[in-house]
Amino acid sequence: MKIKIVAVGKLKPYFAAAADEYTKRLQRFCDIEVVSLDEDGVRKESESILKKIKGIYILLDIGGELLSSEEIAAFFSKSLSKGTSEFTFVIGGSDGVNDEVRQNASMKLSFGRVTYPHQLMRVILLEQIYRAMAINANLPYHK
Amino acid sequence: MKIKIVAVGKLKPYFAAAADEYTKRLQRFCDIEVVSLDEDGVRKESESILKKIKGIYILLDIGGELLSSEEIAAFFSKSLSKGTSEFTFVIGGSDGVNDEVRQNASMKLSFGRVTYPHQLMRVILLEQIYRAMAINANLPYHK
């Protein structure tokens, strides 16, 4: 199972430390790769994003589907049972992504109706992917 | 304007650093206090929580209202215009809160349908309160 996160922008040290922690924990379950793209305006960022997408592509989007953690876990296990084992999650920059990046998404996923800074969004996403893996592995996960 | 966050449990260093950063930024706008309660089982935690509540009391709850950041900002400004300037936000521990803590809430607020670790929830909440203040102060807030 391969999971790639494509995100725009750099992380502050404390968010980088949190992201590293979840990335490390995820290595138990999958081949995880985080690709950080430089901030470079929506058009160029979107071009770079499109080049990085492989497998099922999920765009993080405030107006997207509000899945529960269990539903995200089920999404992974269902995809795996259909033979798909490669996933790309995309977090756009502060100014979002262009239409092509939006339209190519297999799913738009939302973590609520509030706007998050993209740095925090990356930590939230990594934690939720880890949580989904823990749910599917029937692992007790409390912190 | 006084804002108190009552939360159960300790934060890992990287989440503590993130929480400190938003707490510091919030001091520009309000008197912000974060009360950390020890993990001590739902019954005792809930008793401690109830003693700390002052003013309008908002419980963070996965099944609560899904407000946008702009709606949270409007909630603050509307409350202020009605003469309420004291708010308590409560984040329960891993095992939640008892019925009394649930029933006393003026509002149940949700940041999505996924389950967050309560540590990360504290960072998310602080960031969203800061965002609401920035919106109401007409401050450009990009990171």
DSSP string for residues in B6-59: EEES---HHHHHHHHHHHHHHTTTSEEEEEEEPP--HHHHHHHHHHH--SEEEE
Q: Which of A115, A74, A65, A114 is nearest to A92 (CA)?
A: A115
A66 domain residue, yes or no: yes
CA distance A124 to B116: 8
Give me chain A's average pLDDT, please.
95
Taken in order A44, A45, A46, A50, the sign of the CA dihedral is positive
B143 domain residue, yes or no: no
Nearest Cβ partner for A111 among B21, B114, B131: B114
B141 domain residue, yes or no: no
Taken in order B107, B111, B112, B115, the sign of the CA dihedral is negative
A142 domain residue, yes or no: no
Q: Are B67 and B109 in contact (CB under 8 A)?
A: yes
Tally Cβ neighbours within 10 Å of residue B59.
Answer: 24
| Chain A to chain B Cβ contacts (< 8 Å) | 83
Nearest Cβ partner for A120 among B71, B127, B142: B127
**pLDDT reading at A143 higher than 50:** no
A101 domain residue, yes or no: yes
A143 domain residue, yes or no: no
- Cβ contact, residue pair A115, B15, below 8 Å: no
Domain span at residue A33 reads 2-136
pLDDT recorded at residue A105: 97
Mean pLDDT of A106-117: 96
CA distance B102 to B125: 18
pLDDT digits (tens, 9 = 90+) for B73-106: 999 999 999 999 999 999 999 889 999 999 999 9
A55 domain residue, yes or no: yes
The complex's ipTM works out to: 0.94
Does this model's pTM top 0.90?
A: yes
Which CATH number fits the domain that encloses residue B86?
A: 3.40.1280.10
Which of A113, A121, A130 best tests the B interface by mutation, with the highest count of B CBs <10 A?
Answer: A113
B142 domain residue, yes or no: no
pLDDT digits (tens, 9 = 90+) for A3-51: 999 999 999 999 999 999 999 999 999 999 999 999 999 999 999 999 9
Q: What residue ranges of chain B have pLDDT lower than 50?
A: 143
DSSP 3-state assignment of A88? strand
Number of domains in chain A: 1
How would you classify residue A91: left for phi > 0, otherwise alpha for psi between -120 and 50, otherwise beta?
A: beta
CA distance B11 to B122: 9
Nearest CA in chain B to A112: B112
CA distance B15 to A62: 23
